[in-house]
Amino acid sequence: MPNVIDEFTRECLAIRVNRRLNATDFIDVLTGLFLLRGIPGHIHSDNGPEFAAKAVRNWIAAVGVQTAYIEPDSPWENSYCESFNARLRDELLDGEIFYSLKEAQTVIEAWRRHYNTVRPHSALAYRPPAPESVPWPPSPASLPGAPAANPNMAHRRAMN
């Protein structure tokens, strides 16, 4: 279950949950993130199996991202991710029993979204890293002075 954390915003960008993960799976996670958010200047990582794989190292170099590896047995060099892993373990994994892979993926993704959008972070003045936003433009019913919606009346489009 590799986690991808943005060290600047403290947002958890991805948690890939599967029974077995290889280098191709991790490249897939990073590719999706790079397409959505752009290519970062560097990736700070431990020397886990996904980063020890030659395919991942070659792919990262080909994309042009610098790597900052953490020395083995030096978790203090990766404090953001270690803190996140402790929260994930304490707040979710220690209290759950997953009966299927799909259940684990669904529950962990829901927790990741809660962590990013609702859960306060002390390092961010007790705000979440990526709070949910209000949809824009607002629906006409939510504007001030709009008539109250009648739940007994079906809303139909008018044809002009």
pLDDT digits over 15-57, tens only? 999 999 888 898 999 999 999 999 998 887 766 665 667 888 8
CATH for the stretch 3-124? 3.30.420.10
pLDDT digits over 67-122, tens only? 877 766 666 666 777 888 899 999 999 999 999 999 999 999 999 999 999 888 77
Query: DSSP string spanning 85-125?
Result: HHHHHHHTGGG---SSHHHHHHHHHHHHHHHHHTS-BGGGT
pTM, entire model: 0.73
> 150: which 2 tokens?
């009648």
Per-residue model confidence (pLDDT) at position 77 = 63
Query: DSSP string spanning 54-97?
Result: HHHHHHHHHHT-EEEEPPTT-GGGGHHHHHHHHHHHHHTGGG--
Per-residue model confidence (pLDDT) at position 44 = 79
129 membership: H or E segment, kind and range: none
Per-residue model confidence (pLDDT) at position 58 = 87
